[in-house]
Amino acid sequence: MPDREKLQQQADIVREQLENHPELPAEKRQALEELIAKFEVQLEMEPATQTPSIADDVNRAVEGFELDHPGIAGTLRNIVLTLGNIGI
C-alpha cells in the first residue's frame, strides 16, 4: 500500500477511535480532531511543500494519549513512522 494511502487509513483509524472513546475530555478530543484535520491538509500537498512540524505535532499528541489511551497513541506512532518513511 502506498504511504499516502496508509497515512489516510491511519487518520481514519484515529477518527474511529475517537468515536469509540466518548469519555475523552473535550479539550483532548478537539486537539486531536484539529491535528487530524491539519494532517489531512498536509496529505494533499506535494512532499516538497509539506512541513516537518506535522510529525512534531503528532509526537506531542502521542505523549498526551500514551497513559490513558494507548490505542490512540499507538495509531499516532504509526503515523509518525509512516511520515518518516516518506521523508516528512
Q: Concatenated DSSP letters for 10-21?
A: HHHHHHHHHHT-
Domain hosting 71: range is 3-85
Here the cell at position 78 is: 504509526
Condensed to tens digits (0 to 9), the pLDDT of residues 4-58 reads 788 888 889 989 998 998 888 999 899 889 888 887 887 777 655 556 678 888 8
Is the pLDDT at 61 greater than 60? The verdict is yes
How many domains is the chain built from? 1
Q: Concatenated DSSP letters for 28-53?
A: HHHHHHHHHHHHHHHHHS-GGG--TH
pTM for this one?
0.76
What is the predicted pLDDT for the residue at 16? Answer: 92
What is the predicted pLDDT for the residue at 42? Answer: 75
In total, the chain counts a number of residues equal to: 88
Q: Which of 85, 26, 88 is nearest to 56 (CA)?
A: 88
As a whole number of angstroms, the distance between CA 88 and CA 82 comes to 9
